[in-house]
Structures are given as C-alpha cells and as structure tokens.
C-alpha cells in the first residue's frame, strides 16, 4: 500500500516557533492574546491544525507547564483547530521539559525522529529520548506527528513503529521539514525520495524553511501531500516583502490547494484523518 493521497489538503499553521525574535519581526504572535487572534484568523483562512510554541513575558521560548496548559485551554475555547504542541521546543530546552509537554493534554504533538544540525546549533533527539516520548504519547493518547528533517529520520520512524507499534489514533502522519541548514534540502527531488521511503498507509505534509517554502509547498501539492506554513518556518512572503501575519501564509496555501483541486480540509475532517476524537478536550 503506497502513502495515501487525499482529496482535500490538510493545512497546518506553525505561527511562532522558537527561533524568530519578536524584536526583529513585530508581527510574530508571542502573547496568548496574539496567538489566539492568529489562530482564529488562520482557521478562517483554511488551517485545520496549529503547531504551537509558546513564549514567556519577555517573548523568549518557554515550556512552562502552566502556560502550556493555559494555551491549550484558550485555543480550545476560541477555535476548532487540532492543537499540536511542539515537543521540540528550542534547542536549549532540557529533555525532561520536552517530555512534560504532553501533560498539558494537547490533541497532538510533534515528535522529531532524529538529531539534526540546526544552523549553528544541534537539535538533539537521541533514540532513547524518541522512544520514551513516543511511549508516553501512546500512554496518554496524544497523537504524534512525526517530524522528519532528514532521510535518516525516516529509517528511525520505521524502527520506532516496528518496536512500539501504532501511534495513538492508529494512523501515521508525518511532516517533512525541509531546508533547515543541516537537514535535507527543500527541493522536489528530495521530497519525492522522502515520500517514497515513508511507511505504507501514512499521510504526510511538508514545509520548506525560508526561501524553500514556496517550492516545497508547490512540490508537496504536486506529489499529493498536505501543507505546513507559518512564521516559524518563513518570515518573508516574497523576495523583499516581509510576512505581515500568519493568515496570509495560510490563505496562500489554501489558494494553491484549491488550484490543485484539493481544497483546504476542515478541522473536523482533519480529526477523522488523524485518528482524533470528534472534538478535543
């Protein structure tokens, strides 16, 4: 069975991330109010999933458990989006804090399947950590999205599923994160190679970092995949034109999906595809 091609396009928005500085990009949503406002706009523009990193009062990345739980509650209250918390955090976050993200009871979480050079830093994901995080998602019923920054991460994903079995919800959904300096390049040939290596029956999205964002978006649509966009991944809408807000990235992705004859998927349909219950909480 090959990887699945859908008739609609799941759009995930990654609005904040851990790397972009608010001082450099004032449109970046960093407060809870800004995040909720962005989430509502992005849902209206066609997003079905939100990939969440949070910031502290000084706009620095944090994995504070109370803030995470408050964020999940506020997003549930204000939107129908599937709430996916980042367990990747920032490269400086300790592993125990990253494991504890699941205690905030999100619908879903990111789960990166390997270590990768990350610009001048290292994004550390050892096999024991990946295994422990995955086992916790299974125990707590949090649906993982497997983040794949390199082709070797796909081999680790196969090993993980072989060792520990199916994820919560029973469905494997992956996200190809392309164009990170140190990871796989964001080009069509690499995307096709990665998709060919994915587990049978899985679904996948792709995102391209920085200037690879539009080529990866177009390649993903052409190859039958889903999309992730957002200011975590790119702060430039076009050459010399900064992003003014996440919703315009979602709107562009939704328009491209429409053109590809696979319009944006609703949050309710995303829940069905990902194996989530009909409503969160």
Question: CA distances (Å), 84 to each of 78, 218, 219, in order?
Answer: 15, 24, 24
- Cβ distance to ligand KMH smaller for residue 48 or 256: 48
Pairing of strands 108-112, 143-148: parallel
Token pair 């204000």 in the structure block, residue: 78
Closest CA to 146 of 163, 169, 167: 167
**CB of 151 vs ligand KMH, minimal distance in Å:** 17
18, 20, 108, 195: which one binds ligand KMH (CB under 6 A): 18
**Stretch of residues binding Zn ion (CB under 5 A), selected from 67-75, 83-91, 135-143, 271-279:** 83-91
10 Å CB burial of residue 67 (0-12, 13-18, 19+) is middle
86 binds Zn ion (CB under 5 A): yes
- Whole-number Å distance between alpha carbons of 228 and 207: 5
**CB of 54 vs Zn ion, minimal distance in Å:** 11
- Whole-number Å distance between alpha carbons of 197 and 161: 14
**Stretch of residues binding ligand KMH (CB under 6 A), selected from 81-89, 184-192, 216-224, 235-243:** 81-89
110, 156, 202, 235: which one binds ligand KMH (CB under 6 A): 110
- Whole-number Å distance between alpha carbons of 244 and 239: 14
Residue nearest to Zn ion (CB): 86
16 binds Zn ion (CB under 5 A): no
Give the binding site for ligand KMH (CB under 6 A). 17-19, 86-88, 90-91, 110, 112, 118, 123, 147
By CB under 5 A, name the binding residues for Zn ion.
Answer: 86
């Amino acid at each position: 069975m090959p990887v699945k091609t859908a008739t609609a396009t799941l759009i995930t928005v990654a609005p904040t991330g851990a790397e972009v500085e608010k001082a450099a990009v004032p449109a970046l949503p960093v407060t809870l109010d800004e995040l909720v406002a962005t989430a509502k706009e992005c849902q209206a523009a066609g997003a079905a999933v939100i990939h969440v990193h949070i910031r502290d009062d000084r706009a620095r990345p944090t994995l504070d458990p109370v803030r995470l739980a408050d964020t999940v509650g506020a997003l549930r209250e204000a939107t129908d989006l599937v709430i996916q918390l980042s367990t990747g955090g920032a490269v400086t976050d300790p592993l125990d804090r990253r494991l504890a993200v699941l205690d905030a009871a999100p619908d879903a979480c990111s789960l990166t399947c390997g270590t990768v050079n990350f610009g001048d830093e290292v994004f550390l994901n050892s096999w024991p950590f990946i295994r422990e995080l995955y086992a916790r998602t299974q125990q707590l019923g949090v649906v993982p999205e497997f983040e794949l920054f390199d082709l070797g991460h796909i081999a680790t994903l196969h090993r993980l599923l072989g060792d520990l079995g199916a994820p919560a919800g029973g469905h494997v959904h992956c996200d190809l994160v392309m164009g990170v300096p140190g990871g796989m390049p964001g080009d069509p040939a690499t995307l096709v190679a990665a998709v060919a290596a994915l587990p049978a029956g899985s679904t996948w999205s792709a995102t391209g970092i920085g200037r690879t964002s539009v080529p990866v978006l177009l390649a993903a649509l052409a190859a039958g995949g889903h999309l992730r966009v957002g200011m975590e991944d790119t702060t430039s809408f076009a050459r010399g034109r900064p992003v003014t807000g996440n919703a315009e990235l979602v709107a562009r992705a939704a328009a491209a999906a429409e053109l590809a004859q696979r319009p944006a998927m609703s949050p309710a349909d995303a829940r069905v595809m990902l194996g989530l219950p009909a409503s969160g909480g």
